[in-house]
Amino acid sequence: MIEVWGQAPDGSDVQRITLKRGGLSATVISFGAILQDLRLEGHASSLVLGFDTLEAYTKNPQYFGAIVGRFAGRIAGASAEIDGVTYPLDCNFIGKHQLHGGSDGASFRNWALEEHGPDFATFTTILPDRHMGFPGAISLRATYRLLEDATLQLDLEAQTDAPTLCNLTSHNYFTLDGGPDLSHHTLEINAARYIPVDDEGIPSSGVMDVADSAFDYRTARALAEQNQIAVIDHCFCTGTKRVAERPVARITSNQSGLALTLSSTEPGLQVFTGSTLTAAAPFAAIALEPQGWTDAPHHPDFPSAILRPGQTYLNRAGFAFGKA
């Protein structure tokens, strides 16, 4: 089902479409290519946080359900060097850094609904040369597809006409029981290393082993320990380059008995437990964001985030739901 769900700030129609297959139903909107609602047959509440109004999404300071880019995460100092040229970027985070592609990043643009069917929808948009300071016009494509085994598959693709940065992700906040917080959730991450950050979310000391740290989730652990939910807003290093899709993380709820297994092609996974949420209660849900490593342009030893003409960027993620 497709409907016009109001107008974007630029006056264009925002389209909303509902997809169904394999026990899942998903509602996506063209603004920000956002996943508004995701439901599993037999489970009462939505599996993701969302808003009931378009106006809330046009503001959306915490990127609920949006596709973010052209560079997800932070870029320190709101500048980046590509092939010896330094590009000043839109500075939209605490007056010092760039976050999620800038103040008019992909998440705040009304994408075109290019193709759709009962169980899939493809959205496209083009970010022009020097948009938010980045060189090169870049074309973006996001395809949501429901599979038979209660899996939501998301493909994020990009092509450019000049060397640029590209690091896309989906910014969904998951809750498997609809409870007030993550008290009943466990987390497992297939990563032996993570990136420590300072108070501004900027890498502070390279890459570190998770062993003997608070960030060792190689074995499933409760997110709430000693009545305190873990504060996580870090990139976990699930690899060193883009590879074939493989499982990288799993969350469960011992209250609902549900599990979410995330598979990804990406070398990193940004995990945010919602400690600073304001549009919902703190710790109401967990964001699992498959992407490249944070602030990669300033770290030559990190996997490169440069996309060149003739290349196709493809970030594929699978969100599979089932019993814990």
157 is catalytic: no
Q: What are the structural domains of the chain? A: 2-323 (2.70.98.10)
pLDDT, averaged per 10 consecutive residues of the chain (324 residues), comes to 96 98 98 98 97 97 98 98 98 98 98 98 98 98 98 98 98 97 98 98 95 97 95 98 98 98 98 97 98 97 98 98 96
∠ CA 173-12-141, rounded to 5°:
50
Whole-number pLDDT of residue 7 = 98
pTM: 0.97
CA 23/CA 184 separation, integer angstroms: 24
CA 129/CA 72 separation, integer angstroms: 18
CA 303/CA 101 separation, integer angstroms: 18
Structure tokens at 234: 């870090």
CA 203/CA 235 separation, integer angstroms: 9
Give the start-end residues of each E strand in 2-60: 2-7, 13-21, 24-29, 34-40
115 is catalytic: no
CA 271/CA 36 separation, integer angstroms: 20
Whole-number pLDDT of residue 47 = 98
Whole-number pLDDT of residue 207 = 98
Residue by residue, DSSP assigns 192-249 as: SEEE-B-TTS-B-SS-EE-TTSTT--SS-EESEETTEE---EEEEE--SS--S-EEEE
The residue from 171, 188, 234, 266 that is catalytic is 171
The CB density around residue 232, as the number of other CB atoms within 10 Å, is 21
Whole-number pLDDT of residue 97 = 98
CA 101/CA 113 separation, integer angstroms: 21
Whole-number pLDDT of residue 1 = 83
The residue from 157, 188, 266, 289 that is catalytic is 289
Q: Which of 321, 291, 32, 18 is nearest to 149 (CA)?
A: 321
Q: What is the DSSP letter of 91?
A: -
How close are the terminal C-alpha atoms of the chain, in Å?
31
